[in-house]
Structure 1
Amino acid sequence: MARQGFREGERKDELLYGILVYGLIGWLVFYYVLNLRSGSYILASLAAALSCWVTGLLWRGWGQRWYFELLYRAGLTTDNGQGALWNRLQQDTRISPTQVVVTLLDGTKLSCDSVQEFDDAAVPLYETDRAGNIALYVNLKKKPDWEDWKAVESVRSSSWGDNLTYIPSREVRHVEVRYLKKKR
């Protein structure tokens, strides 16, 4: 849970250290519940598994950000532990995309001018992957020889569903994404 979305390129030693850290926490909870509380192996095992899961969630949600912020403020590193920038933008739950413009190799621009309108769609907002492929609800389009943007008809249909456009990374020249900081 703690490394969800960051597994690509993870070294075997990082995996081993994660198992040791979370396993140690689970073992301590197991020992405490078994010896000091109930004596039940089933309860101790469940408590140990739950503690590993909760610890992973806490690390992923707050601990990792706090840790790397501390290192940054101390002047020790600018690394955020999230690898490539594209991966960071995908995984950061503190930001929310509002607009996306994708420029294709031929100069055509595809845009979703209000990403939040698709929050209730079958595939919410828009999607990207590590390879740079993009799935986007395109409601505006501009060819290089067009003076103005043109609205794409029938992006949303109550009977047919929402029209999601898949854009392979090999066709993408440039991507612009506007973000807002999420309110918590």
Structure 2
Amino acid sequence: MQNIDSLLSLPIDTLVLLAAGYLGYRLAFTGKDREHKTTDVIFISAAFAAIAKAVMMICVVVGSPAAGLFLAAPASLLVAIIWRRWVSEKVFGILKDKQIMTHDRTETAWQSLIARDGNVVRQIVVHRTDGTSYMCDDFFPFKDVAPSPLILGMDGSVVFPVSHWRDAGKEEWTEERDVVSKEWGNLLTYVPADQIKSIEMRLE
């Protein structure tokens, strides 16, 4: 509690910089921060805070310091979005092409896959350890399912609407009806990571 009181006693512009830096970091690296250590969090947050500070300084120069307080955090978040959506993959691609870096600091291929933004999954088949298989033959009819038609957990678990299922040793798929129901709501299936043998996904 004392630490919080000490933090809140800081000048407002300092609090804005701290908030802008950390929010920028979280937006840019959520789902990609598993390997980050404390020093990574501090210095990356400081980088986004520096962007906010630059905006504040520009606003002071043009004679509107109050505008700097309002624009600092949005500017930092905008840069975070640009970095995550467009720049980071291009930078990694260049480093990979030049053989400077061949990995993205994730522990597993699964984590690397789900951390990549922009992937559109059209079809998924989950094979369970007991031999049964679950499939969503086409995600398009379920695109409006809330909160999401497909959730890929960092631990390897999966949540999705099962349109077809197949028992162990069978070749024919059985269609699951009423997956989307106006009366009962949407039916999502959770498959724990320790029950999954393999996953097949078709990406657009």
The one of 94, 99, 103 equivalent to 1:70 is 94
Is 1:125 aligned to residue 162 of structure 2?
no
In the TM superposition, residue 100 of structure 1 has moved relative to its aligned partner by: 0.7
User: 2:62 aligned with 1:37, yes or no?
Assistant: yes
How many residues in Structure 1 have an aligned counterpart in Structure 2? Answer: 178
Conserved 8 A contact 2:163-2:176: yes
Matched position secondary structure for 2:123: strand
- CA distance in structure 2 between the aligned counterparts of 1:46 and 1:82, rounded to whole angstroms: 35
User: Cα RMSD over matched residues?
Assistant: 1.7
Greater strand percent: which structure?
1
Change (3 A) 1:123 1:174: same
**Secondary structure at 2:110's aligned position in 1?**
helix
CA distance in 1, matches of 2:130, 2:152: 21
Matched, 1:59 2:106: no
- Unaligned stretches of 5+ residues in structure 2: 1-26
Q: Percent identity?
A: 22
| C-alpha distance in structure 1 between counterparts of 2:83 and 2:192, whole Å | 33
**Higher helix residue share:** 2
Q: Which residue of 2 aligns with 1:16?
A: 42
After the TM superposition, which segments of 4 or more aligned residues of structure 1 sit over 3 Å from their partners?
Answer: 80-84
TM-score by length of 1: 0.88
The partner residue of 1:50 within 74, 93, 107 is 74
CA distance in 1, matches of 2:149, 2:140: 6
CA contact (8 A) 1:97 1:178 kept: yes
Q: 8 Å contact 1:68–1:81 — kept in the other structure? A: no
Tell me the equivalent position of 1:135: 159
Please tell me whether residue 163 in structure 1 is matched to residue 163 in structure 2: no
Q: Does 1:172 align with 2:199?
A: no
Q: TM-score when scaled to structure 2?
A: 0.80
C-alpha contact (below 8 Å) 1:116/1:125 kept by paired residues: no
Distance (Å, rounded) in 1 between the aligned partners of 2:34 and 2:171 = 42
Deviation at 1:15, TM superposition (A): 1.0
CA distance in 2 between counterparts of 1:178 and 1:84 reads: 19
Q: Could you tell me whether the CA contact under 8 Å between 1:100 and 1:176 is conserved in 2?
A: yes
